[in-house]
Structure 1
Amino acid sequence: MNKEKVIIYPVDSEYLPFLKYSNLFEDTEITGCYAPKGWFYVNKKIQVSNDRVITIQDINECKDISTFDALWVVNSNGDIDFETTILPIIQQAAKENKAIRITRSLTNEEYKMCSEVCEQYGSLLSNEEKTYISSDSTPRILNINTPVVFVFGIFEHTDKLDTLLYLHGGAKKAGYRVKTILSRKNETDIRDFISFPDFMYDRRYSDTEKILYFNHFLRRMELDHKPDIILIGLPGEIMPLDDKHNGNFGVIPYLVSNAVHCDYAVLKLFHNFYDSVFAEKLQEICRNKFEIDINAFAVSNNMIDAASISTSTLKFYTSDKKPVALDENYYFNHINGVGESLCDHLILTLQNLGKYRMV
């Protein structure tokens, strides 16, 4: 079956993890990546799956639109004006009867403008999937029989998504049926990926309701799809850094850890905060706050500028340098200090729990 050829826009660091693991995409072939003129990533070469290299191009250079089937509008970190920078690109593609796929967060008014453009030119418009709350109002926690894996971080910018995609691909390659709840929106065509549920951010619901809804959501997914393993990426942080930088006070991990028991947990650390004494303190925090034992610490490529913690704006840098003195419980690029992979450790741990079938 021929894959749908798509171009991705606007691309920056927000979308790079999906490009890195684009070999997981089922029905899509990424033929080009674009960004607005002047953005940092324009003309940058990035390595994607299977050692391919893609150059992110200026969107103004996208002249021959006959080379793709669909325009995919995604989320980005950079500020961008919708009407002047996104809508004209959608209009250009719609005129040529290209499909428009939107996983970018839009206001109702912005989405209405997209719909009107596509309707005008007869172009197909598709939006992100919606996660619905279960109609089951049973006020109790239901048992989840499938092994559940958490990937969460000490704070934001710890590359949780990268580890989630890695574990998903590794477990699937090993022969397991995997369902993964991403730590953000699902911006792929992978049916086994699910966006983190919107209702967990909805202020109309109490924390108690969110715990119950998330638990019932997982149970329904378990019954419908019968996975061998469920991966869950937890947005946010496990705790505030200080009074200025508190994130959301670790609320999401707290709610999710009350909704479902975790069988294996990976905690992502900053590249410059990974020593064993510090990690032991984090292990104690996770036990006391979430009743979770950390099975593996994964060191991110991202470094936090410690000096910026005392300021109003945090600064982050990246490093590809392998941390020194990694032991068997610490993983960098998903390999620990003795050369073992994080995915192998995950599968072996679950098998030893007696809940997991051998393949």
Structure 2
Amino acid sequence: MTNKLIIFPFDYETIALVRNLNLLGSYGEVVLISFQGSGMIGKDACVVDKGQVTGLIVKPVSCLEQELESCDDILLVQSNFKLDVAEVYLPVIKKAGQLGKKVMFNFTLPDSCMELIQPGEEHGYKLILKNTFDVRTEHISPPDPSSAIHDFFTPVLFVIGLNERTHKLNLQLNIRQKLEAQGYQVSQVTSNGCGELIGAHSFPQFMFEGGMTETQKIIMFNRYLKKIEQSEKPDLILVGIPGGIVPFNNTFTNYFGVTSFLASRAVRPDGLICCLHYDEYNLKYLEHVKQYMENRFSSSLLGYALSNNVFDSYSSSSVNLQYASVNPRFVEEKKQEFSSYPVPILNLSSDEDMGKLTEDILHYFSVDHHVAQF
């Protein structure tokens, strides 16, 4: 009998997980459930990114209670939709707990919700929070700001996005699997909260919370990565950085790229991969971005990965960003315009291009570049 997983509410944030179901390991069946009116009901999951057909049809929320009866686990994900956490998630958590199901999250539940859930744990609730590192360290005092940070002896590769929603997670999972297929050990920190579900680590929640100074966050993240290096002894540490690295404009700020800057102070990356939206770029702009990133992160850009997502600045507001997807063939055509540019510009939807990127990474992390050899 195979295990069954429900993902709710399914949207763009979990499409990378759906496209890499083999990493889920023990789940033989995955059910995707979303809201009526989302535009996805009754359609293949590929509707959210216009990629290859997945074979998984999105079901309406009216099916949730019935599917809960027969599932083993449910993953509740932080959605693009603006949701009332107590109204949407609490009834599902309580029902799943009563049925003895395992409930997982890729975000931190508010304290007010936890207070309502915890008494139920005595009656068979199986609650697993998404970020085990945060759970282990939530009662540990922040470090002394004058503490030293550790050096790293393993190559570190950052996957960053110029802006949000650039398919970073899909690229991370693709690179990891291609390297592992060649026998390399990769330790991965994902740019969203599903890391533990796929044999990786999530970007730690403490990097986004108050209560610590920026200096303390840098030290904590350094220790987080060092612990991974020491315990897993990988050939490569692959770190996905959440969000964008620069403001889009004065309205859409990407939080000014603070997260990526703090991460780069905790560990200097040995290489960078930058994911981009589909847009009307020119060589002068790409060169400007390259110089900016290499100066800011004190590292080298190995390549641009072009997604088929487009940011719709005209329809967006500061609290509700809007995106659209173009046919991947337009990405391929755009890529060809920059064939003479010295930095590889790759189609993120192309498996052939992802294979080429993997080979470029292997070539870069060699003695020729004075980085620890794989």
Q: Sort the TM-score into its range (normalised by shorter chain).
A: 0.7 to 0.9
Residues 45, 142 of structure 1: alpha-carbon distance in 2 compared, 3 angstrom cutoff: same
Q: Which secondary structure does the structure 1 equivalent of 2:80 belong to?
A: coil
Q: Which letter maps to 2:344? A: N
| Alignment length (residue pairs) | 355
Deviations 1:211-230 (Å, cap 9, x if unpaired)? 22222222222111111110
Residues 95, 189 of structure 1: alpha-carbon distance in 2 compared, 3 angstrom cutoff: same
What TM-score do the two structures reach when normalised by structure 1? Answer: 0.87
Q: Which letter maps to 1:353? A: H
Is 1:98–2:114 an aligned residue pair? no
What TM-score do the two structures reach when normalised by structure 2? Answer: 0.84
Sequence identity percentage: 25
- Cα distance in 1 for partners of 2:39, 2:346 equals 29
Structure 1: 5+ residue runs without aligned partners? none
Q: In 1, are the aligned partners of 2:108 and 2:129 still within 8 Å (CA)?
A: no
Residues 207, 299 of structure 1: alpha-carbon distance in 2 compared, 3 angstrom cutoff: same
Q: Which letter maps to 1:58? A: P
1:330 pairs, out of 345, 348, 352, with 345
Is 1:300–2:310 an aligned residue pair? no
- Cα distance in 2 for partners of 1:347, 1:335 equals 19
Q: Which letter maps to 1:111? A: M
Q: In 1, are the aligned partners of 2:131 and 2:205 still within 8 Å (CA)?
A: no
> Shift of residue 249 of structure 1?
1.2
1:143 pairs, out of 148, 151, 155, with 151
Q: Give the corresponding residue for 1:173.
A: 181
Is 1:343–2:345 an aligned residue pair? no
- Cα distance in 2 for partners of 1:305, 1:64 equals 35
Residues 39, 3 of structure 1: alpha-carbon distance in 2 compared, 3 angstrom cutoff: same
- Cα distance in 1 for partners of 2:14, 2:354 equals 29
Residues 210, 188 of structure 1: alpha-carbon distance in 2 compared, 3 angstrom cutoff: closer
> Shift of residue 18 of structure 1?
0.9
Aligned counterparts, 1:1-359, within 5 A: 4-46=3-45, 52-62=54-64, 63=66, 65-120=68-123, 122-132=124-134, 139-186=147-194, 189-191=197-199, 193-305=200-312, 307=314, 314-319=321-326, 320=328, 321=330, 322-324=332-334, 325=336, 326-327=338-339, 329-333=344-348, 335=350, 341-351=356-366, 352-353=368-369, 355=371, 357=373
- Cα distance in 2 for partners of 1:170, 1:354 equals 23
**Structure with the higher helix share, 1 or 2:** 2
Q: Which secondary structure does the structure 1 equivalent of 2:301 belong to?
A: coil
- Cα distance in 2 for partners of 1:233, 1:340 equals 19
> Shift of residue 123 of structure 1?
3.5
Residues 129, 271 of structure 1: alpha-carbon distance in 2 compared, 3 angstrom cutoff: same
Deviations 1:174-217 (Å, cap 9, x if unpaired)? 211111111121255223x1111122223322222222222222
> Shift of residue 34 of structure 1?
1.1
Q: Which letter maps to 2:333? A: P
